[in-house]
Amino acid sequence: MPKIHIELINMQPQVLNRAYFIMLLWVLLGCTKENLNDCVRLPGIRAVAVPPSGYEPVNSQDIGAVVFYVFDQDEKLLDTLSAALNETVLLDYPQAERLRVVGLANANNGDLVADGVLTLQYLRNYLSMPIYEAPSDAFWGEVSILNKRRAGAIISLPLVRVVSSVSVKIRGLKEYRQVDDEDFSLVLSAGYQGVAFHGLPVEGLAGYLLAGTFVSQNPSQYNVSAFRIISSIQGSPVVLKIYHKDVLIDSISADSSGHPLMAYNGKLLEIQISYTASLFIVIQMHSEWDQENYWKEF
């Protein structure tokens, strides 16, 4: 024991400092031959409310629970992870060379979700039109990463809206139909039934049966509150059909300027229709999300 003490004292100070630093580093990292896993810094992922360029802005308060679907380079589902917005989860899949992570937020019981794919829930047929439940305020995103287990990088997954919002206002409906009752119904049809594996909409006719009300302050105005549909960022054409006692009285696919009615991801489509004795006008407005306008005087 004294011999060791003498040898340490006789060692050069720089050698002692170097030996101490190496020992301290190994302790802090927790790296040992018996447990090399302690040395690994796993990659992590977190969902963020910062859409890529070209997409509509997102309010982080609109995003709730996020589910990550983790796939390997062969598109095999490895795991499903849940997190809050901006919460980091670690990706511990050493067998995979590459990972693809799909994030889906706000999916509710009305949406059919499997392996990152969202499908509308079929309800019934209405006058031969397939009627689906309106989707949740759904967000989607994906990233592909090289699975470097010692890098420890935190990857951000931007979320974008994959639905649009639609509202309808109609004036003069009872006068146009020459009735006093309020037995009207509206069906809006669109061309998509879900959001596919890579975030693109799934084609297929989808109808939404709308329940509107006549406004007490203005009994001639019939309002349908904003509801959501599956659409696309490039724009999805929609058709509005108006029924009285299950009898079709009008089918509207374009505004008065001849432009098709279009719904865009992350936007509010406002459809306003006026029936008068001498004039029939349809306008469409594309507004910011949740920024519905009042009646526009024609």
For 196-249, the DSSP string reads -TTSPEEEEEEEEEE--EE-SSSTTEEEEEEEEEE-BSS-EE-EEEEEETTEEE
| 187 or 36: which leads in pLDDT | 187
Question: What CATH code is carried by the domain that includes residue 222?
Answer: 2.60.40
Domain shared by 214 and 202, yes or no: yes
- Summarised one tens digit per residue, pLDDT across range 204-255 is 999 999 989 998 888 889 999 999 999 999 999 999 999 999 999 999 999 9
Domain shared by 45 and 150, yes or no: yes
Taking the whole predicted model, whether its pTM rises above 0.85 is answered as no
Domain shared by 190 and 245, yes or no: yes
Domain shared by 170 and 262, yes or no: yes
CB atoms within 10 A of CB 171: 21
Give dist(CA 116, CA 162) in Å, integer.
13
Among 190, 183, 238, 189, CA closest to 212: 183
Among 182, 187, 178, CA closest to 206: 187
Residues of the chain above pLDDT 90, percent: 61
Give me the pLDDT at residue 197, please: 77
Whether the predicted pLDDT of 295 surpasses 70: no
Residue 262: enclosing H or E segment and its boundaries? strand 262-263
Whether the predicted pLDDT of 187 surpasses 50: yes
Whether the predicted pLDDT of 8 surpasses 70: no
Residues of the chain above pLDDT 70, percent: 81
Q: How many domains does the chain have?
A: 2
| 152 or 125: which leads in pLDDT | 125
DSSP 278: S
Both tokens assigned to 73: 């380079």
User: Across-strand partners of 270?
Assistant: 167, 285
Residue with tokens 């809050």: 84
CA angle 248, 249, 251 (to 5 degrees): 80
Both tokens assigned to 67: 């589910």
- Summarised one tens digit per residue, pLDDT across range 276-286 is 766 788 999 99
Give me the pLDDT at residue 235, please: 94
Domain shared by 145 and 176, yes or no: no
Whether the predicted pLDDT of 152 surpasses 90: no
Domain shared by 192 and 208, yes or no: yes
Domain boundary among 101, 131, 160: 160
Residue 204 falls in which region: left (phi positive, over 0), alpha (psi -120 to 50) or beta: left
Domain that holds residue 283: 163-288
| 217 or 155: which leads in pLDDT | 155
